[in-house]
């Protein structure tokens, strides 16, 4: 686990949520790649905690599908399951299509400007090839939509089931033209909302969310050890 350096906990906060957050971030960024062995004792030493918060964090990650726990044997970072990614994509698409429709019908004051600022930040991060920060900025763009639509509580719900599809996107991001495509889609979504055009906003969002799954076979070819399709026959 050389990709996970020692982490100084905030002693004013509970340990388990911090260990959970750090491990989840490392898995989503692929710093902890699929198949990585997560040894509780080693993690406890790296975080400077007992094994209890580590065990609790790993149980939560198991529930989210990000790790596979083999009792009395080992805990591994899970491979990226295409079937689970498709289901998460279906859920997110259903929610966000309705969300952008409502926002386009009645755009909240200041939303378009906030989204445009976020796109400008993403542009700068893309040019610097700072992919980790770009992903965070991309996540914030969508979070702004949820907040503007009064659906902020759904961000965590979608996030908890999106580990597989988000890791696919992280693998896909360095592909030539991918960041430009994301920025183009974001601008089209904002244009639809700004113009009061729900259909245009929905079409842009649908195209945006379908990009990575349409490239699954290429991702699988480039990263055969990372990807699995549990639903394949």
Under a CB-based contact definition with an 8 Å cutoff, are residues 185 and 210 in contact? no
pTM here?
0.87
Mean pLDDT computed over every residue of the chain: 92
Give the angle 19-21-27 at the CA atoms, nearest 5°: 100
Does pLDDT of 1 surpass 70? no
Tens of pLDDT, residue by residue over 164-211, are 999 999 999 988 899 999 999 999 999 999 999 999 999 999 999 998
pLDDT given at position 10: 80
Tell whether the model's pLDDT for residue 233 goes beyond 60.
Answer: no
Tens digits of per-residue pLDDT, 102-161?
Answer: 999 999 999 999 999 999 999 999 999 999 899 999 999 999 999 999 999 999 999 999
Q: Of all helices (H) and strands (E), which one includes residue 207?
A: helix 198-210
pLDDT given at position 232 = 47
Kindly provide the residue ranges of all beta strands, DSSP E only, lying in the chain, ordered along the sequence: 67-70, 74-77, 80-81, 227-228
- Helix ranges (H only) for 70-129 are 82-105, 111-127
Q: Which domains does the chain have, with CATH numbers?
A: 15-78 (1.10.10.10), 81-228 (1.20.120.530)
Q: What is the pLDDT of residues 21-62, one digit of tens each?
A: 999 999 999 999 999 999 999 999 989 899 999 999 999 999
Task: Give the DSSP H/E element, type plus range, for residue 186.
Answer: helix 178-194
The band of 63, judged by pLDDT with boundaries at 50, 70 and 90, is very high
**Distance of alpha carbon 214 from alpha carbon 219, whole angstroms:** 10
- Amino acid 58: pLDDT: 96
């Amino acid at each position: 686990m050389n990709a996970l350096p020692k982490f100084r906990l905030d002693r004013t906060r509970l340990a388990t949520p911090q260990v959970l957050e750090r491990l989840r971030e490392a898995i989503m960024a692929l710093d902890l790649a699929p198949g990585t062995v997560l040894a509780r004792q080693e993690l406890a030493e790296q975080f400077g905690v007992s094994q209890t918060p580590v065990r609790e964090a790993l149980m939560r990650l198991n529930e989210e599908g990000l790790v596979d726990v083999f009792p009395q044997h080992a805990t591994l970072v899970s491979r990226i399951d295409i079937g689970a990614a498709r289901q998460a994509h279906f859920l997110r698409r259903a929610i966000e299509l309705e969300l952008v429709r409502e926002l386009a019908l009645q755009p909240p004051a200041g939303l378009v400007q906030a989204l445009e600022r976020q796109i400008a930040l993403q542009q700068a991060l893309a040019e610097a090839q700072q992919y980790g920060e770009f992903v965070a900025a991309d996540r914030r763009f969508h979070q702004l939509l949820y907040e503007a639509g009064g659906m902020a509580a759904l961000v965590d719900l979608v996030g908890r089931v999106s580990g597989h599809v988000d890791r696919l996107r992280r693998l896909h991001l360095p592909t030539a033209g991918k960041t430009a495509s994301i920025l183009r889609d974001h601008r089209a979504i904002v244009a639809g909302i700004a113009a009061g055009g729900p259909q245009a906003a929905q079409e842009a969002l649908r195209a945006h969310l379908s990009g990575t799954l349409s490239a699954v076979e290429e991702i699988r070819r480039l990263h055969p050890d990372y990807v699995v399709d549990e639903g394949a026959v």
